[in-house]
Structure 1
Amino acid sequence: MAGDELTADTAPRPSWRSIALRVAAIYLGARLITTLFLFLAAELSGFQSRMGADAGLGDTVVAWDGAWYWLVAFSGYPTSLPLTDAGQVAENAWAFLPLYPYLAQAVAVPFGGQWGTGALIVSLIAGYGASVALYGLLRSRLDESATLWAVAFFASGPLAALFQIGYAESLNLLWLFCALWCVARRRYGWLYLLIPLMAFTRPGVLAFALFLALFGIWRWFHRAREPLRRAEVAHIIALGLLAALAGFAWQLIAGWVTGEPGAYLATELAWRRNWVPGDPSFAPLEPFLAGVSFWFESMWHLPLALGYALVGAGVLLIAAALVLLPQVRRLGIEIRLWSASYLVYLLLVFFPQSSIFRLLVPLSPLWGAFAVPRSRVWRSGVLLLCLIGQWWWIYNMYALGNSTWQVP
């Protein structure tokens, strides 16, 4: 592809049937390990844990946000915002987008309407589809071995439990990886479907709008190496506007149904009161700065200036890695621009707490950078660290889940 030198090997590539089988073998092996981890977490769950002393493997599917998605599937969305005793907007279903819970409910029909069963099937299948899409996204840049190792890191990563619990992440990753593949291959037509699908599965499509804007600028400055046709310009502009509109669509729907223009924002802020009591407000970047203040001053009793310094240093290091690190550059401009756009989006809107691990999952194409080194010791070590991180996350969020930092 123009703009970056292709680094994938030129050997004959396997058929898509062969690819699907290879990815399936990796994915199924990873799911067996995750199932074991979730089973152990349920067994270790005690009276003080989130799931209780009698938890079973099935309880992990509908725990935490899985219960909210279940509520959406069975009760829909409130027409009036619920209030706390203090008169503030309480946590409610408007924080959760509709595509995943309703799709899980439809899939559950042949299984007696058991929503948890439908959610498990949707998450498993979507996770496999995302793994195949990730292979396709990375294969044009990496050789066969590195691509499969990247898929293994993704399927076995610290947050791999998301592929078999009642969360919308796996479905959103499927749409996202397909969308990035379309941009990388300059096949824009499918994006008119994929962008709305992303918008009604998980928050974050505004990051994709920013990505398209940056990608359009990059294409303009590199048009001498890769011709930029008028049709492509029109697609990029139209899709960017579509992503921006789709990013605000759910807010408009929530406001229209409830009669409260700020219904969605008030609902999201209700969750922040779990960490910061009172009546929080929102402005771009304010949630992240408030989170730094909460953790460094209130929780860790450290100077706020130290928090800002560490965050600033982290931002600079990440920016340098996306721009300069050879392993990251090999992944192509699309993955790098997406990663930068998504991180900017999180900085602008997210209140940092333990869910940050889950919210970083859309950066999964960067697993390709960890697979670039050809050392078997390195790759095996990364995979081992993925599995250790996965057990740590599952144990804390499901076997325990009784502390401020143990919320998935």
Structure 2
Amino acid sequence: MAHGILTSGIRHWVRLPIVGRIAVVYLLARLVTTGFLLLASQVSTVQSRFGFDPDLRSFVLGWDAQWYWWVAENGYPSVLPLTADGQVGENAWAFMPVYAYLAKWVGFGDWGAGALFISLLAGYLACLMLHRLLHARIGSRQALWAVAFFASGPLAALFQVGYAEALFTLLLLIALDLASRHRYPLLYLVIPVMGFTRPGILAFALYLGLHGILRWMRRHEQPLPARHIVHIVALGALATVVGFSWQVVAAVVTGDPAAYLKTELSWRRNWLADPNPEFIPFEGFVRGAEFWAGQAGLAAWIGWIGLVVVVAGAVLLLLRAPQVRRLGADIRLWSASYLLYLLAVFFPQSSTLRLLMPLTPLWGALAVPRQRWFRGLMLGLCLLAQWLWILSMYGLAQTFWQVP
């Protein structure tokens, strides 16, 4: 009897269209995440940021979700707030408007409900797009495993809280799919929305440049029509303009040409006692390497060596790892572009893991091996990492050291 039930279940699973199979995987993953969030609420104490026994809505509206809600309700400040020492303080200009206002509109005024709906729906659609992006490269079954890793991974709680990551990842996967299929005209619509959802569009501009160079180098093997050249150049220019336009908007509204950069640097002062008042590309990770080495009681030069090792390891993985090479040039070029962007503009701290979510296509590399034990192990590690992340960021969220 058990064999018959199992056989029948497998038969029904195989007959289920891919959108249905992904829906089942996504729904099961969301149930697990909900269970983890409920467990986190049980371990939350009065010392936690969320207090004793918070409900799930508190988690949805926690941390940066409060900033998006503030934007939706109050807009952006025309006068930058200042700290006691005259520096620009943390403010809403660090958060892009699309997710903030869309959540209020979708929720009919209930921002939390709208934010949760958008994150949940965008997460499912991102899973569909991830499968679409990967199945021609690694096979449909492997692509479905990549979806399972993504839906159950360390950052899976972002599908159920008021953060813009799920929506941005959906838009990014759409953009990568369009570019890799050379369907450039639709990107004129996607790029501006993506650029005003969260930071990262400048990395996409770099990717488009590398994509264009690669197509030019391969033009004798693969035709490169003149209209494609025009589209690639125009789209790269559009992504660049969109990437810098938020700085211009902030400057015009506040009257301070450096309003946006000063706002972003205000968060860095939570970590460094003597941060540079001016933005210098790549300085964040250099200072971060020194900072974290110091926290471990080590010399600054050890932190620098650690940074070089991490960067070299990432380069080798993208260039040499067979599983990563299976994903194709476009995914590797995007991954390299985004990692370079992170190195140039961010300071490594507790939010760094969340900032890696745009590297979602790389889940395909872990899905390439066909051994069942390996996939089972990876899925188990994904769930373990997800629980530890939720426990740290929501259950035991006591200090700025644990910001998601």
Task: Assess same fold via TM > 0.5.
Answer: yes
User: How far is the alpha carbon of 1:16 from its aligned partner?
Assistant: 13
AA in 2 matched with 1:310: G
Q: Is 2:157 the counterpart of 1:158?
A: no
Aligned counterparts of 1:208 and 1:67: Cα–Cα separation in 2: 27
CA contact (8 A) 2:131 2:140 kept: no
Using the aligned pairs only, state the percent identity: 55
Q: Distance in 2 between matches of 1:43 and 1:60?
A: 13
Amino acid at match of 2:62: A
Q: Establish whether residue 213 from structure 1 lines up as the match of residue 212 from structure 2.
A: no
Which residue does 1:8 correspond to in 2? none
Tell me which residue corresponds to 1:225: 221
Tell me the residue number matched to 1:239. Answer: 235
In 1, Cα distance between equivalents of 2:38 and 2:112: 16
Distance in structure 1 (CA, Å) of the matches to 2:329 and 2:83: 47
Q: Which moved more, 1:173-182 or 1:47-56?
A: 47-56
Indicate yes or no: 2:52 matched with 1:66. no
| 4+ residue segments displaced more than 2 Å | 14-17, 277-281
Match of 2:292 in 1: 295
* Cα deviation, residue 85, structure 1: 1.9
> For 1:279-358, what aligned pairs fall within 5 Å after superposition?
280=276, 281-297=278-294, 299-358=295-354
2:90 aligned with 1:91: yes
* Code of the aligned partner of 2:99: Y
* Structural mapping, 1:11-160, within 5 Å: 18-109=17-108, 113-160=109-156
Q: CA deviation at 1:15?
A: 12
Q: Count residues with an aligned counterpart.
A: 391
How far did 1:403 drift? 3.6
Query: CA offset at residue 227 of structure 1?
Result: 1.0
Query: Does structure 1 conserve the Cα–Cα contact (< 8 Å) formed by 2:137 and 2:326?
Result: yes
Query: Contact 1:146–1:368 (CA<8 Å) still a contact in 2?
Result: yes
- SS in structure 1 of the partner of residue 402 of structure 2: coil
Q: 1:181 maps to what in 2?
A: 177
Instruction: Report the alpha carbon displacement of residue 277 of structure 1 after superposing the two structures with TM.
Output: 3.0
Matched position secondary structure for 2:133: helix
**Over aligned residues, Cα RMSD in angstroms?**
1.5
What is the distance in 2 between the residues matched to 1:98 and 1:403?
27
Q: 2:370 aligns with which of 369, 374, 377?
A: 374
Q: Residue 405 of structure 1 aligns to a residue in which SS?
A: helix
Q: Deviations over 1:128-154 (max 9, x none)?
A: 111101010001101121010000000
Q: Sort the Cα spacing of 1:16 and 1:233 in 2 relative to 1 into closer, same or farther, 3 A.
A: farther
Offset of 1:187 from its aligned partner? Answer: 0.4
The 3 A distance-change label for structure 1 pair 391 and 198 is: same
Q: Distance in 2 between matches of 1:19 and 1:106?
A: 31
**Is the CA contact 1:147–1:371 (under 8 Å) kept in the aligned structure 2?**
yes
Residues 244 and 16 (structure 1 numbering): CA distance in 2 closer, same or farther, change over 3 Å? Answer: farther
Instruction: Check conservation: 1:43, 1:56, Cα contact below 8 A.
Output: no
CA offset at residue 93 of structure 1?
A: 0.5
Q: Secondary structure at the match of 2:211?
A: helix
State the one-letter code of the partner of 1:290. R
2:88 is paired with a residue whose SS is coil
Superposed CA deviations along residues 351-400 of structure 1, whole A, max 9, x for unmatched, are 00011100011101000000000001000100000000000000000011
After TM superposition, give the deviation of residue 316 of structure 1 in Å.
Answer: 1.3
SS in 2 for 1:81: coil
Matches of 2:364 and 2:401, distance apart in 1: 29
One-letter code of the match for 1:29? L
Residues 291, 300 of structure 2: 8 Å contact kept? no
Residue 69 of structure 1 contacts residue 96 of structure 1 at CA under 8 Å; is this kept in 2?
yes
How many Å apart are 1:405 and its aligned residue?
A: 3.1
Q: Which moved more, 1:276-285 or 1:195-204?
A: 276-285
Q: Cα deviation per residue 1:291-346 (whole Å; 9 max; x = unaligned)?
A: 1111112x122111111112111111111111111111110100000000000000
- The question of 1:257 aligning with 2:253 is answered yes
Distance 1:404 1:55 in 2: 19
Gaps of 5+ in 1: 1-13
In 2, the alpha carbon distance for the partners of 1:218 and 1:18 equals: 35
Structure 1 residues 273 and 69: alpha-carbon distance in aligned structure 2, compared to 1, 3 A threshold: same
Structure 2 Cα separation of the partners of residues 384 and 276 of structure 1 = 36
Describe the superposition over 1:242-269 as per-residue Cα deviations: whole angstroms up to 9, x where unpaired.
0110000111001001111111001111
TM-score normalised by length of structure 2: 0.95
AA aligned opposite 1:286: E
Residue type of the alignment partner of 2:243: G
Measured in 2, the distance between the counterparts of 1:222 and 1:48 equals 59
Indicate yes or no: 2:185 matched with 1:192. no
**Unaligned 5+ runs, structure 2:** 1-12
Structure 2 distance, partners of 1:114, 1:17, is 35
